Amino acid sequence: RKEVEQDPGPFNVPEGATVAFNCTYSNSASQSFFWYRQDCRKEPKLLMSVYSSGNEDGRFTAQLNRASQYISLLIRDSKLSDSATYLCVVLQAGGSYIPTFGRGTSLIVHP
């Protein structure tokens, strides 16, 4: 069975902390990788795509390790507004790229 696994947390960190999440995937033929953010009872919102060379967007850095089949998300200088669930999404190669979601990692940033 092709799975995407995440530590559910919660990760409880103070403002200003650096926090990192990992996500492992089992299908080596996976094509594309994303981090989404989901607030309570809201829709997932795209945070960033994950490229093979790694990529950064402000305080957020995403990395892909194909050999070990995991992706990571690093958040620097955490803000209260970063509190959310972070979803790892992997697209399997199929007719139209079937997405598989992880269960998400909960982040709580406290003052």
Partner 1 sequence: EPEVTQTPSHQVTQMGQEVILRCVPISNHLYFYWYRQILGQKVEFLVSFYNNEISEKSEIFDDQFSVERPDGSNFTLKIRSTKLEDSAMYFCASSEAARTQYFGPGTRLTVL
Binding site for partner 1 (CB under 8 A): 32, 34, 38, 41-46, 49, 87, 91, 94-104
Cβ distance to partner 1 smaller for residue 17 or 49:
49
CB of 35 to partner 1, least distance (A): 12
In the complex, minimum distance from the CB of residue 98 to partner 1, in angstroms, rounded to a whole number: 5
| Nearest alpha carbon to residue 73 among 35, 100, 24 | 35
- Whose tokens are 């926090």? That residue is 19
Which three-class secondary structure state does DSSP give residue 55? strand
Which of 40/67 has CB closer to partner 1?
A: 40
Q: Taking the complex as a whole, how short is the minimal distance between the CB of residue 77 and partner 1, in angstroms? A: 26
Q: Is 43 exposed, middle or buried (0-12, 13-18, 19+ CB in 10 A)?
A: exposed
70, two tokens = 């995991």
Nearer to partner 1, 10 or 94 (CB): 94
